Amino acid sequence: MRPTGRLHLGHLVGALRNWTALQEQYDCFYFVADWHALTSDYANTAPITGYALDNVADWIAAGVDPERSTIFVQSLVPEHAELFLLLSMVVPIPWLERVPTYKEQQEQLTEKDLSTIGFLGYPLLQTADVAIYDGRFVPVGDDQVPHLELSREVVRRFNQHYGDVLVEPQPLLTPVSRLPGLDNRKMSKSYGNTIDLSDDSDAVVRKVRQMYTDPKRVRADIPGTVEGNPVFMYHDAFNPDTAEVEDLKTRYREGKVGDVEVKTKLAKAMNTMLDPMRERRREVAEQPERIREIVIEGSKKAREVAQATMERVRDAVKLRY
């Protein structure tokens, strides 16, 4: 995850819940992609380390367990850069120019000059990030599948030159759709429509009250639409009381419930869900050095694995003195 801001509910449903579950089955490596943050934010690097530690506090609060998973920071394992460099020797530039997000982001983020080698090479650095741990599976949303397909091609090309040295990674699709934000666009920091994992209960109540709902329903006695309505998508994602949710949906469709009741019950369910995370986050925040220790320890562990891979890679490339 890139440390470019505070984490929000989109990160919880789109990544962290899955990360937590995967720990049961896999030997997981989760990292703060601080070099990837530089690919777009190279002009303003000061907040990156603060976001990095803040994000890791959220991961741990959400259930990512540093005893079971390796939690680390990319730039503390400089071998990622070495593998990236070696990969860059064999990868034709057009492969990178063809990645759909490359042109899209350049067009969207017009306030930034993204005509850099770092930005073009982003998917190659991602390939190194995974291959350096012999990563077999990468938990991603469907938007990341083209990047992973490229990673597989890059690994194949590298192996063609140097023998069977790197492992081809497979996508492990995260089984959730995109969480909408308060305004029904995708929840994203850049749209200012987020509920953050660090928001207190009053902020959640206030934000839920502002949420976009069925615009045709100007009065509580007009039948409303539940499908595609973000308030009900949130009820489905965050309210474990399915009987209450079904009752609200039925009455909403019939025009027998006001938005205030629907939203009040949603905010209450969300705060109940967030409270244990807030509590864990508070415990973590009481020992600010603890998070730093976790990422330093995790990065040491990650580095041992990365160094072993690079020994193999240097042999394969015949750079041995």
Closest chain position to ligand AMP (CB): 14
Q: Find the shortest distance in angstroms from Cβ 320 to ligand AMP.
A: 38
Q: Find the shortest distance in angstroms from Cβ 140 to ligand AMP.
A: 7
Q: Find the shortest distance in angstroms from Cβ 48 to ligand AMP.
A: 13
123 or 224, CB closer to ligand AMP?
123
47 or 141, CB closer to ligand AMP?
141
Give dist(CA 295, CA 33) in Å, integer: 12
Give dist(CA 210, CA 208) in Å, integer: 5
Joined together, the tokens standing for residue 48 give 């990156």
55 or 239, CB closer to ligand AMP?
55
Q: Find the shortest distance in angstroms from Cβ 161 to ligand AMP.
A: 31
Q: Are 251 and 223 in contact (CB under 8 A)?
A: no
Q: Are 251 and 221 in contact (CB under 8 A)?
A: no
171 or 298, CB closer to ligand AMP?
171
101 or 272, CB closer to ligand AMP?
101
Which residues bind to ligand AMP, rule: CB under 6 A? 1-2, 10-11, 13-15, 141, 178-179, 186-188
53 or 220, CB closer to ligand AMP?
53
Q: Residues 117, 50, 52, CA angle at the centre, nearest 5°?
A: 60
> What dihedral angle (degrees, nearest 10) is formed by the CA atoms of 215, 216, 218, 219?
-120
15 or 86, CB closer to ligand AMP?
15
Q: Find the shortest distance in angstroms from Cβ 31 to ligand AMP.
A: 12
Q: Are 150 and 171 in contact (CB under 8 A)?
A: no
Q: How far is CA 150 from CA 92, 117, 287, in A?
A: 12, 17, 41
Annotate 61-128 with three-state secondary structure.
HHCCCCCCCEEEEHHHCCHHHHHHHHHHHHCCHHHHHCCHHHHHHHHHCCCCCCCCHHHHCHHHHHHH
Helical ranges in the chain per DSSP H: 9-11, 17-22, 34-41, 48-62, 79-90, 93-97, 100-108, 117-120, 122-131, 145-162, 201-210, 230-238, 242-254, 259-286, 288-317
Q: Find the shortest distance in angstroms from Cβ 108 to ligand AMP.
A: 13
Q: Find the shortest distance in angstroms from Cβ 65 to ligand AMP.
A: 19
14 or 298, CB closer to ligand AMP?
14
To which residue do tokens 């967030």 refer?
274
Q: Find the shortest distance in angstroms from Cβ 106 to ligand AMP.
A: 17
